[in-house]
Structure 1
Amino acid sequence: MYRNLFLFFWLIICSVPAVAQQKLMTLEEATLGRGRQFNPEDKTGMQWQDNTHFTYVKDLKDLVQHNILTGKEQTILTVNDINSPLANEKVPSLKYFYTYSWESPEVLKFTTDNYEVMFNINTRKITHKLDYDKHAANLDFHPKTKSIAYTIDNNLFVKQADGKVSQVTNDTDKGIVNASNYVHRQEFGINKGTFWSNSGHAIAYYRKDERMVADYPLVDVTKRIAALQTIKYPMAGETSEEVTLGIYNLQTGKTMYIKPFGGKNDYLTHIGWDPSDRFIYIAELNRAQNHMRFNKYDANTGAFMATLFEERNDKWVEPENDMVFMKTKPDQFLWFSERDGFTHLYLYNTSGKLLKQLTKGDFIITDFIGFDEKEENFYVMSTKDSPLERHLYKYNMKTGKETKLTRQPGTHRVALSPDKKYFTDNYSNYTTPRNIDLLDVSGKTIKNILTAKNPVAAQNYALGEMQTGTIKAADGTTDLYYRMIKPHDFDASKKYPVIVYVYGGPHAQMVTNSWLGGTGLFDYYLAQKGFIVFTVDNRGSAHRGFKFESVIHRQNGQEEMKDQIKGVEYLQSLPYVDANRIGVSGWSYGGFMATSLMTNYPDVFKAGVAGGPVIDWKYYEVMYGERYMDTPQENPEGYAKTSLIKNAKNLKGRLLMIHGDVDPVVVMQNSLSFLKAATDANVLVDYAVYPAHEHNVMGRDRVNLNKKIAQYFLDYLK
């Protein structure tokens, strides 16, 4: 009887479908997994080859072609196909398809070691190769002439297709830097230091003279005897670098310099060549960053020709995008401006006449994608639907008619086909890890190319619940967007500690309608450990318009803190939040915000982590610091009010401050000054240093960093 009863229950148990218990992420998986096992499937390196084909890289070694008319896919080239011809030409082998581009539908361009190579996929032959010095940096290739510009140390070189090498500059003083992408501290959208003319017969380049800028000491402790590394670091209100623009003529071998209209400390941004190559344009901004002149120069003599237009603002003017010339009307160009309070496009002619404002409204144009073939319409990415999303819009040049082309909610990235009849749409949202569709330029979906699985769910990992919403800012009217991540085993009847993750500064947006809500897996790991993780984009952050962002002017941190406290008040209203266990964490501007909140609202936050924090804005650099704070001489009250040194005595909760010991962005003097003030006030601060790391802790050491942060909150907040 008992035996039959046992068999009966055994059969019942066996007949119930097995439910695998969900796995929890390890710290290493949460730190490194977004780029590995948890990265949604993609068509890596996806590019248009011609009007009816695009290509992508599979397994890093196969180049796959997709026919948009038939849907057929085939591998058209492998790394092995290339390496035999490379060996015949004594060119280093290609290990992977890291980057590539199509010079024509038959010719592929790629880099291997110190060679630029063009390869015909039909003949399987190298059509062009150009080597350059192994120590070269700042590479800039001109596709028409097949010349390449590069720097060695601080000097500019040009190698032409025939192998001729010209040393353009010959400065031996390390205080003079030529053709570097690190000019004006890479503010104003600057990411390169050389600018080829359309024909490729001339090249403009930045010449930065920083001999007058103070030397700042960093110490390399990896040497047997620690070595001094000095950098040039122009602090707010101090002597800054002086930048000029040279133009080298490859045909004459001569260099001349632009004769700038403004002062020696002006910022020279958004260098643009006229389609005729006769003129060069520069957006010149005064050091106070409240007056921009868009100037035209003779490219042959360097002589100032005219100021096409000016922009002024009592707070700041910040040009961030290059001019876009029209091909059908080469005397007209598009210009991005925030002059009406939101970033929009304006049409000018080369005489400086404003022809029309092309886009308008309480939203941001984030990117110019291109014109159609006849330049009757243009395409842009916009926040019109929501500040949390990016969508593709088409505008008619004459009528201004606006057409939304991407329909699904989320954050979209698009690429137009060469004939501008189709585009690929790669997007994600809260519930979609990645989706790639092919559409025509009327917005009609032709086919789905990829629908990626949820890589976390597919591997049976638990992931905390994410929700988003809005709260009112401290001004009582402005909506602020937040993201909240709850533990995977959330129980509304319990009380949970909260970690407020904050950045809060300009040029950053933490909350977006994208996969994982715009954050990484570490926030989900913290939720897995029993925390609610909360983020709100306060006033002062990006993509909400000038009024929203400029509330910080001359008082960094003040309005931002008020908005963050509104976020805390919302948290405290929730029945499942433990109001006595609220922490805060942030890095860089976020480190400044975390420390500001811990010391200005010491009874609110029990624990905090501040990484690479600005502590006093007088220790920060000229270009960014003076835009938002003016100089210490002009705004002593603002600098005194925002300095956290005087606030160290207010600290009550546990604060962990973290810094890389060779940080060239937020120098270590910031956190050490706070540590000294805390010591003087007999206040305890925990301090961690990451040797040989700069402004962030990257690579394998980031696992250690996240372990430290997680453990700190487990020790003092949980």
Structure 2
Amino acid sequence: MYMKKIIIILISCTQCFIAFAQTKQSLTLKDAVLKGRTSLAPQRLNNITFLPNHLLSYSINENIILFDYKKNKIIEKITLTQINALLKQNNADTLPAIPALQWNKQQSTFSFQSKNKYFTYDVVSKKIFPDTSEHPDAALENLELSSNPHIWAYTKDNNLYLHYNKKDIAISNDGNINLTYGYPASRNEFGINKGIFFSNRADKLAFYKVDHSEVAEYPIIHWTEFPAKNENIKYPMAGQKSQKVYVGIYHLKQNKTIYIQENPNDYKYLTNIAFSPDDKYLFIAVLNRDQNHMKLNMYDTETGHFIKTLFEEKDEKYVEPLTPPFFLKNKPEWFIWRSNRDGFYHLYLYDINGKLLKQLTRGEWEVKEIIGLDATGKKLIFTCNATSPINQDIYTVDIYTGKVEKISDEHGFHSPLLNDDGSYLIDNYTSCYIPRKYYVTDIKNKKQTLLFESTNPLENYKTAIWKKIVLKSYDGSELYGRIFYPVNFDSTIKYPVLVYLYNGPHLQLVTNTWMLGGEVWYHYMAEKGFIIFTIDGHGTPFRGKQFEQETFRKLGEAEMKDQMTGIKYLKSLPYVDTNKLALFGWSFGGFMTTSIMTKYPGVFKVAVAGGPVIDWRYYEVMYTERYMDTPQQNPDGYNTTSILNHIQNLKGKLLIIHGAEDDVVVWQHSMMLLKTAIDKGIQLDYFVYPTHKHNVLGKDRAHLIEKVCDYILQHINQ
């Protein structure tokens, strides 16, 4: 009788498991794409702000939370319903969701915007009242805030404006297509992500002035106009004349602008801009057009005069300065410089005279970002990948003793947010099988308090199983990859494979984050019976200079060898149908896709290349010349890497997709490929997104991924 009961229980449990499994939903492609970064992604905390008295504020699930991280408890919860009720009392529009919050940390109040009006919520009185203080319009172009909440700058119609003393001041008024003020220079290369730089005291404003007059104009057609309208942009292609870059400094109190004395006529690059702590000096990394010789220069902010070169960096291939000097609060005459001069990106301590005091970190791993200083000002907090090339951990280094310590705990990917005094940080943690956790970390004793843990957002869906793989490249270096197995995988069945790739500079696809960095739509293809595979080869970042620079002057060659290492691995698996391999990549991945289809013909049965670089002569000066030199210096490299010279080798089906308004990889790339294919009698499939630029975003992204998946599904079995 006892055994009979056990059997009945086991049968019941099995039936429950089967019933549960059967209730899991299939992912629609539309949901996978459009919700892949929202409701189907690991939940995030928003509006994270450190407050006085060990309080932390964040918003989640339409609630604003006040959390005491010393006592490890929630002390206040403000709901969206409460806020909307108070807004109604003020005859104001209600909010559909918790908005961006601006805390006044001294008064326990926060401000927010509803339509075009600002309001302040008082945590103590639990009341809302109109906020009459000044706020910049978040829609302003290139908006840059200063340390003074009443001073900000922005751009409009190629000119630079400053909001000061409750009025907007035009710092320039002659901006046009050939001359821009306050916009990012050098097409956002060299770590440049803005064109406006406030001094520490907000009484000076450095900015880029860029002369585009020698740069060729390139037509972008807006097809929805009637008739279609042309807009010319400035696009410097490899080997052509380029931008001339100036750095100006506007003095608010004197209402005057001076310019840094640096001759722009040799098309040099000015980057990594930083004021000294006392605002007397401006530091600029000056890089020659060949990008193999960098000088860190010091200039007088009152006159613009050159003072001295602190140090120089040279490399036979290229130097790529990405990070401005980081000054120390306790020793303002010292700064940290991030460089890969020893083969890996590490930290170096200098004084303001250019004397190297010491190398702070070293090893076959890379410092990724400087986060800040701890409460003592003696320890620098930074992220790095010392534990694995695909990890990101939080470390400190004692500036005086050189002692390096790891302060993040779990194996995976940690992204920190430091509080104002450097005593605590938020550790946003994820890994291959952990969606997301937030910890509050006491930096001094490394104690962590769990703040929030996300559930698996795909728990109720039919999903693939995924895992990390590590392969050996042709030179013995390790290649990191990921593989997603089909839903209900059976190792006795042979499956088609979709290889998704990028394998280019500045982007790691495979990281120790949720799903190893994979996309939600992979699960859709996994349910269609596909294995989805990705590998990062030579040229990808955070692996050291030698690994990255292996591609110099011959983009695509080493990368394709690494992709073929991945194919060799796939063909070794008994459950892979080696006659049914598909390939998909975008941008540099599109270049890789077309390169492989024409240089390794027959390996893949079907491929899709989106926004592909077809010939590096048509790509921008800054990026291309770093990796390829100019067409005049490296004609063989340009000829060898041009798909136009290899399209006749194509075997299999190839779909090219391009945005007609692409201002990054201009439409001419794929149009020239079509022209050459027609000339050589080669058949290609082609699709254009008339209103999109380099990326197809918004609701049309679902259309794009559907186009890609349908094309692969249609042709893989033919």
Normalised by the length of structure 1, the TM-score is 0.93
1:163 corresponds, among 162, 166, 184, to 166
Determine the structure 2 residue equivalent to 1:3. Answer: none
SS of structure 1 residue aligned to 2:46: coil
Which residue matches 1:64? 65
Cα deviations by residue, 1:446-492 (Å, 9 ceiling, x for unpaired): 432222211211x2x111111211111122x1110111111011111
Partner of 1:326: 328
Q: d(CA) in 2 for partners of 1:134 and 1:14?
A: 55
CA–CA separation in structure 2 for the residues paired with 1:208 and 1:87: 48
1:691 corresponds to: 690
Give the root-mean-square deviation of aligned CA atoms.
2.5
Equivalent residue, structure 1, for 2:3: none
Q: CA offset at residue 100 of structure 1?
A: 3.3
1:645 match: secondary structure: helix
The residue identity in structure 1 corresponding to 2:467 is Q
Amino-acid identity (%): 40
- For 1:622 and 1:674, how far apart are their aligned partners in 2? 21
Distance in structure 1 (CA, Å) of the matches to 2:112 and 2:284:
31
The residue matched to 1:703 in structure 2 has which SS? helix
Quote the residue 2:255 is aligned against. 253
- Measured in 2, the distance between the counterparts of 1:391 and 1:40 equals 20
Asked whether the 8 Å contact 2:244–2:264 carries over to 1, the reply is no
Q: Distance in 2 between matches of 1:624 and 1:683?
A: 30
- Structure 1 residue aligned with 2:550: 551
Closer, same or farther in 2 for the Cα pair 1:444/1:256, shift >3 Å? closer
**C-alpha contact 2:90 2:129 (8 A) present in aligned 1:** no
1:506 maps onto 2:505 in alignment: yes
Shift of 1:209: 1.1
Contact 1:581 1:606 in 2 (8 A): yes
Name the CA shift for 1:81/1:323 in 2 (closer, same or farther; >3 Å).
farther
Q: Deviation of residue 441 (structure 1)?
A: 1.8
Contact persistence 1:100–1:110 (CA under 8 A)? yes
| 1:652-663 alignment runs, 5 A limit | 652-663=651-662
In the other structure, the counterpart of 1:473 is 473
Rounded to whole Å, the distance in 2 between the matches of 1:37 and 1:223 is: 35
Q: Who is 2:624 aligned against?
A: 625
Report the counterpart of residue 388 of structure 1 in structure 2.
Answer: 390
Which residue does the alignment assign to 1:100? 101
How many pairs align? 702
Once residues 389 and 172 of structure 1 are traced to their aligned partners in structure 2, the CA distance between those partners, rounded to angstroms, is: 44
Amino acid at match of 1:67: D
Structure 2 gaps of 5+ residues are: 1-7
> How far has the Cα of 1:88 moved from its partner?
11
Distance of aligned partners of 1:76 and 1:135 in 2 relative to their CA distance in 1, 3 Å threshold:
closer
Cα distance change, pair 134–19 in 1 and its aligned pair in 2 (3 A): closer
After TM superposition, list the pairs within 5 Å mapping 1:590-609 onto structure 2. Answer: 590-609=589-608
Residue-by-residue CA offset, 1:187-231 (whole Å, 9 max, x unaligned):
111111111111111111111111221110111110121111111
2:121, 2:140 → 1: CA distance? 22
Q: Distance in 1 between matches of 2:258 and 2:286?
A: 19
Deviation of 1:72 after TM superposition, in Å, equals: 2.9
- Matched ranges for 1:360-371 at <5 A: 360-371=362-373
Q: CA deviation at 1:121?
A: 4.8
| Structure 1 residue 700 displacement after superposition | 0.8
Residue 132 and residue 53 in structure 1: after superposition, are their counterparts in 2 closer, same or farther (change >3 A)? closer
Structure 2 counterpart of 1:199: 201
Moved more, 13-22 or 280-289: 13-22
Deviation of 1:45 after TM superposition, in Å, equals: 2.4
Q: In 2, are the aligned partners of 1:119 and 1:127 still within 8 Å (CA)?
A: no
Does structure 1 conserve the Cα–Cα contact (< 8 Å) formed by 2:33 and 2:702? yes
Deviation per residue, 1:666-708 (Å, 9 max, x gap):
0111111111111111111000001100001111111111111
SS in 1 for 2:469: strand
Find the counterpart in structure 2 of residue 295 from structure 1: 297
Using the alignment, how far apart are the partners of 1:118 and 1:275 within structure 2?
33
How far off is 1:132 after superposition?
A: 5.4
2:266 touches 2:289 (CA, 8 Å); kept in 1?
Answer: no
How far does residue 125 in structure 1 lie from its aligned partner after superposition? 5.7
Aligned partner of 1:6 in structure 2 is none
Normalised by the length of structure 2, the TM-score is: 0.93
Of 175, 179, 184, the match for 2:178: 175
In the other structure, the counterpart of 1:572 is 571
CA distance in structure 1 between the partners assigned to 2:65 and 2:580 by the alignment: 53
Closer, same or farther: CA 444–119 of 1 in aligned 2, 3 Å: same
Asked if the contact 1:118–1:128 (Cα under 8 Å) also holds between the matched residues in 2, the reply is no
Provide the residue aligned with 1:336 in structure 2: 338
Displacement of 1:369 in angstroms is 1.4
Q: Secondary structure at the match of 1:511?
A: coil
* Structure-1 separation of matches of 2:636 and 2:104: 56
Q: Which moved more, 1:416-425 or 1:31-40?
A: 416-425
Q: 1:236 to 1:395 in 2, by over 3 A?
A: same
Q: Is the 8 A contact 1:176 1:208 kept in 2?
A: yes
Report the alpha carbon displacement of residue 420 of structure 1 after superposing the two structures with TM: 2.9
Q: Is 1:142 aligned to residue 146 of structure 2?
A: yes
Alignment check: 8 A CA contact 1:406 1:443 kept: no
Q: 1:172 to 1:178 in 2, by over 3 A?
A: closer
Contact conserved, 1:473 with 1:480, CA < 8 A, in 2?
Answer: yes
Partner of 1:560, secondary structure, is: helix
Counterpart Cα distance in 2 of 1:498 and 1:14: 35
Which residue of the other structure, out of 34, 37, 46, is the alignment partner of 1:35? 37
Alignment of 1:215-254 (within 5 A): 215-254=217-256
SS at match of 2:675: helix
Q: Is the 8 A contact 1:116 1:130 kept in 2?
A: no
Q: What residue in structure 2 maps to residue 464 of structure 1?
A: 464
- Show CA shifts across 1:365-390 (max 9, x none): 11111111221211111100001110
1:370 and 1:136, CA in 2 relative to 1: closer, same or farther beyond 3 A? closer
Other structure's SS at 2:585 match:
strand
Q: CA deviation at 1:57?
A: 1.2
In structure 2, distance between residues paired with 1:332 and 1:81? 49
1:673-712, aligned counterparts within 5 Å? 673-712=672-711
Question: Matched residue of 2:592: which SS?
Answer: helix
CA distance in 1 between partners of 2:500 and 2:445 (Å)? 38
What's the counterpart of residue 5 of structure 2? none
Which moved further from structure 2: 655-664 or 95-104? 95-104
- Greater shift in the superposed pair: 133-142 or 282-291: 133-142
Alpha-carbon deviations, 1:584-611, whole Å to 9, x = none?
A: 1100000000000000011211111000
State the SS of the aligned residue for 1:439: strand
In structure 2, relative to structure 1, the CA distance for the partners of 1:77 and 1:301 (3 Å cut) is: farther
Q: Distance in 2 between matches of 1:691 and 1:448?
A: 47
C-alpha distance 330-687 of structure 1, shift in aligned 2 (>3 A): same
Aligned pair 1:415/2:417, yes or no? yes
Q: Deviations over 1:169-200 (max 9, x none)?
A: 1115332111013x210011111111111111
Identify if the C-alpha distance between structure 1 residues 481 and 111 changes in structure 2 by more than 3 Å, giving closer, same or farther: same
* Corresponding residue SS for 2:44: coil
> How far apart, in 1, do the equivalents of 2:300 and 2:95 lie?
43
- CA separation of 1:623/1:602 partners in 2, compared to 1, >3 Å: closer, same or farther? same
Give the whole-Å Cα distance in 1 for the aligned partners of 2:252 and 2:95. 31
Secondary structure in 2 aligned to 1:144?
Answer: coil
Letter in 1 for 2:650: L
Specify the SS of the correspondent of 1:689.
strand
CA spacing shift, 1:674–1:42, aligned 2, 3 Å: same
- More deviation, 211-220/167-176: 167-176
The answer to whether the 8 A contact 1:511-1:537 is kept is yes
Contact 1:657 1:685 in 2 (8 A): yes
Q: Match of 1:598, SS?
A: helix
Q: What residue identity is the alignment partner of 2:521?
A: F
- Cα 1:14–1:550 change in 2 (3 A) is closer
Offset at 1:128?
6.0
Displacement of 1:118 in angstroms is 7.6
C-alpha separation between the residues in 1 aligned to 2:390 and 2:327?
A: 30
Indicate which of 431, 439, 442 corresponds to 1:437. Answer: 439
1:402 lines up with 2:404 in the alignment = yes
Contact 1:405 1:442 in 2 (8 A): no
Secondary structure at the aligned position of 1:28 is classed as helix
